Amino acid sequence: MAIDYDHLMSLTSEGERFSYGDRETMLYALGVGMGRDPLAAKELPYVYEKDLKTVPTMATVIAWGAGPLRDSGINYLMVVHGEQKLTLHRPLPAAADIIADSRVVGAWDKGADKGAVIVTETDIRLADTDDKLCTLTSTTFARGDGGFGGPTDGAPKPHALPDRAPDQTIEVDTRADQALLYRLSGDRNPLHADPEFATAAGFPAPILHGLCTYGTCCRAILGSVADYDHTAITGFDVRFSSPVFPGETILVDVWKDGPIASFRARLKERDAVVINNGKCTLKA
C-alpha cells in the first residue's frame, strides 16, 4: 500500500501512558554495558538501587511502542532506523509514571527505487506534574515506500563532525549475549535473538540493536567527558550507519568543543563506522 502523504502527516498518538521502576532503570544500564566491573565505584550507582542514577539514553525505551507509524501504511519489512535524536528537559528519574504524545513532523520522497524518510517526534512528560521530561525525534528510512509524491528536499541535515583528529578515542566492549540482555528493555525483534531469523534477513548472526549501540556510545561519553554525571548530558543525537555484532569492540572517537561533544563509533575488529554524525550536548 502506497503512502498517502496527507494521511501520514496527520498521524498523531496522544496520551499514551507508561511506567517504569528501578528494575527497568538498572536493566537498561546493564543492557548497554554498565557494571562490567562490579567494583567500579562510579558505575555501581547505575546498576544498584542505592542512590540510583539513570543513563540518559534510557529515554528511548521508557515509552517503548509509543508513536503513530503503525497506521502509516509503510512496509515494515523494509524499514531501517536512520537517525535518533534526544533532548532531555530534566534528568530522568529512576522511576516514574509518564505520558507520551507523538506525531509525524516530516516525510520526504527519495524516489521510487530509493525509499522514503519519515520523521516522528515524541514528547514525554511526567504524569504526576505534567512537567516535560524529554523529546525523542526519530528518523525512519522506509526503503520500500519511495515514489509516493511527497517533498523531495528539506530533510534534516546531520551534525557535521569537526575536520581534525579526534581529541580522544574510547574503547568499549560488547558481550556475546548483549542483544539478549538489551532486548528485555523493550525491543523484542527476533532479528536480535533468533539465528534463523537473522540468516533469513541476510545476516550471518543476530545483530545488536541500533539503540543498544546508541546507549553504549552514551556509556562511553558518560564515563569520560561527563565523568559519570548523568545530569551533565542534555542531548544525544546520532545517525546509524552499520550494524554491530554482539561481542565486537566499539571505538568511540570524540571531539570536544565547549558544550558539544561530537562523536562517531567504529569497530576495532573490522573496518566499519556504525554510528556517525554524533552530537552530545552538555549542560552549560
> Could you tell me if 283 and 259 are in contact, meaning their C-beta atoms sit under 8 angstroms apart?
yes
CA-based nearest residue to 169, from 274, 279, 253: 253
Question: CB count, 10 Å around CB of 269?
Answer: 12
> Could you tell me if 16 and 99 are in contact, meaning their C-beta atoms sit under 8 angstroms apart?
yes
Give the 3-state secondary structure of residue 28. helix
Pairing of strands 249-257, 12-20: unpaired
Q: Which of 192, 209, 230, 253 is catalytic?
A: 192
Known catalytic residue: 187? yes
Rounded to whole angstroms, how far apart are CA atoms 213 and 37? Answer: 19
Known catalytic residue: 145? no
In angstroms, how far is CA 275 from the centroid of its own chain? 10
Q: Which of 109, 123, 145, 187 is catalytic?
A: 187
What is the C-alpha end-to-end distance of the chain, expressed in Å? 47
In the block, which residue shows the cell 521530561? Answer: 133
Task: Give 172's strand partners.
Answer: 250
Rounded to whole angstroms, how far apart are CA atoms 181 and 27? Answer: 8
Number of H helices, E strands in the chain: 5, 10
Give catalytic residue positions: 187, 192
